[in-house]
């Protein structure tokens, strides 16, 4: 397989990071030594149909190589979602710009070799693998056309066969599984809903209304939404449009279960806050203020920190999960902050930033102990899906 380097990594080391929490400043200290072990990070560049492999280790951070993905030469296929299998043997990429449908691709992690693919729905986007690596769950975001209910594809990863397509709502996004793999959660960007799927029954078990002041949990699948339900939403589906004054719409973009599975956090892109939902009682615990246009979320494996990308705010927030307090807000070099992946040891967060126009994409590497930006690495334009290999290397 052809590997071509996108460019030289941009290692803009941060020696002083301004935190926008109560006007405080993070300590001005020299960057720590590079890690003694290596981390492998994959990031999808949607505009150029590339998967970049980034290595963070004793020698710094750099792009090692890129892997092409897609079939259409005249028009980008648009790799969007990306995920390693929990066993680390394979990684999967969703390509969104199909004709008319998109695909899920499977690659061998050891050498980036192609294994197989399967056609899914319209605009396959975020994805995650089950804890046993046997199934992939992919939301069919359906960005184009009328705002009609879409679905979640379930794929058997052994033979790359779609075994179910579960109807949910308009523009499902932020596909994440509970730690035990028994529940799947997705946010309905055009329906103000969080949807829970029972992975044993392969059907919707509950949904939760997220509109500010109307929060409530409901059993079963959501009813079809009328056109009026989409009023005031960003019909482009990218989370960049600022809300109108007094608009209580959540416009949810991501669902993130806690490390113990007891709660689910939902990013409300319009109201710039987080809704925390108790899974057992299916009630709202609290709303937590977040950054402007909070978009994607990730949680550390020890459950103590929640990392949020702020799409309109050009920043990344690190939040203490117990208190809900924002520990730090770190500005990013470029605009349109997108995905987040946390290293297996909880030491680093890797954040993709799309960039604008002809700008390259960027991966911001955040030290979660120092709460500071360690380095930035340039990749292809429109960097989106991102994941870290589940095991570190010597």
Predicted structure pTM score: 0.88
Alpha helical stretches, state H, the chain: none
Distance of CA 23 to the CA centre of its chain: 28
User: Do the Cβ atoms of 309 and 331 come closer than 8 Å?
Assistant: no
To the nearest whole percent, how much of the chain has pLDDT over 90? 76
Please report the pLDDT score of residue 313 as a whole number: 95
Distance of CA 32 to the CA centre of its chain: 27
Distance of CA 358 to the CA centre of its chain: 23
User: Do the Cβ atoms of 148 and 126 come closer than 8 Å?
Assistant: no
Query: Tokens 């690495």 map to which residue?
Result: 377
Query: Tokens 């967060």 map to which residue?
Result: 349
pLDDT in tens, 285-298: 999 999 999 999 99
pLDDT confidence tier of residue 106, bands split at 50, 70 and 90: very high
pLDDT in tens, 324-378: 999 999 999 999 999 999 999 999 999 999 999 889 999 999 999 999 999 999 9
Please report the pLDDT score of residue 77 as a whole number: 87
User: Do the Cβ atoms of 230 and 190 come closer than 8 Å?
Assistant: yes
pLDDT confidence tier of residue 73, bands split at 50, 70 and 90: low
pLDDT in tens, 167-200: 999 999 999 999 999 999 999 988 899 999 999 9
pLDDT confidence tier of residue 10, bands split at 50, 70 and 90: very low
> Coil, helix or strand for 379?
strand
**Lowest-pLDDT range of 114-118, 169-173, 234-238, 275-279:** 234-238
Count of C-beta atoms within a 10 Å radius of residue 301: 13
Q: Is the dihedral of CA 325, 300, 218, 148 positive or negative?
A: positive
Spatial separation of the C-alpha atoms in residues 288 and 268, rounded to whole Å: 10
pLDDT confidence tier of residue 28, bands split at 50, 70 and 90: low
Asked whether the predicted pLDDT for residue 260 surpasses 70, the reply is yes
User: Do the Cβ atoms of 378 and 362 come closer than 8 Å?
Assistant: yes
Domains in the chain (CATH in brackets) are 39-223+247-388 (2.130.10.10)
pLDDT in tens, 31-69: 567 999 999 999 999 999 999 999 999 999 999 999 999
């Amino acid at each position: 397989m052809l590997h071509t380097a996108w460019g030289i990594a941009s290692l803009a080391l941060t020696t002083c990071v301004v935190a926008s929490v109560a006007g405080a400043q993070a300590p001005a200290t020299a960057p720590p030594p590079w890690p003694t072990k290596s981390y492998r990070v994959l990031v999808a560049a949607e505009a150029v149909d590339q998967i970049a492999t980034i290595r963070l280790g004793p020698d710094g951070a750099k792009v090692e190589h890129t892997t092409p993905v897609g079939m259409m030469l005249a028009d980008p296929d648009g790799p969007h979602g990306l995920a390693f299998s929990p066993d680390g043997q394979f990684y999967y990429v969703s390509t969104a710009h199909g004709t008319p449908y998109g695909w899920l691709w499977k690659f061998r992690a050891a050498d980036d070799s192609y294994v197989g693919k399967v056609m899914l729905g319209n605009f396959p986007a975020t994805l995650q693998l089950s804890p046993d690596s046997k199934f992939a769950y992919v939301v069919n975001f359906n960005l184009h056309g009328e705002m009609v209910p879409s679905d979640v594809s379930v794929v058997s990863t052994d033979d790359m066969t779609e075994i179910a397509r579960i109807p949910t709502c308009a523009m499902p996004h932020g596909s994440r599984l509970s730690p035990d793999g028994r529940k799947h959660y997705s946010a309905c960007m055009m329906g103000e809903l969080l949807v829970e799927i029972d992975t044993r029954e392969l059907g919707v078990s509950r949904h939760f209304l997220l509109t500010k002041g109307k929060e409530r949990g409901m059993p079963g699948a959501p009813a079809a939404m009328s056109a009026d339900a989409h009023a005031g939403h960003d019909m482009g589906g990218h989370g960049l449009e600022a809300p109108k004054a007094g608009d209580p719409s959540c416009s949810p973009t991501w669902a993130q279960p806690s490390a113990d599975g007891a709660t689910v956090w939902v990013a409300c892109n319009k109201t710039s806050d987080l809704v925390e939902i108790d899974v057992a009682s299916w009630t709202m615990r609290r709303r937590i203020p977040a950054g402007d246009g909070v978009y994607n979320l990730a949680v550390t494996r020890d459950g103590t920190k929640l990392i949020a990308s702020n799409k309109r705010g050009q920043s990344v927030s690190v939040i203490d999960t117990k208190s809900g307090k924002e520990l730090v807000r770190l500005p990013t070099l470029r605009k349109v902050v997108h995905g987040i992946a946390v290293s297996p040891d909880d030491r680093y967060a890797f954040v993709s930033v799309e960039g604008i126009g002809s700008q390259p994409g960027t991966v911001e590497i955040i030290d979660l102990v120092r709460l500071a930006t360690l380095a930035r690495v340039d990749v292809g334009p429109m960097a989106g899906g991102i994941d870290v290999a589940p095991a570190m290397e010597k």
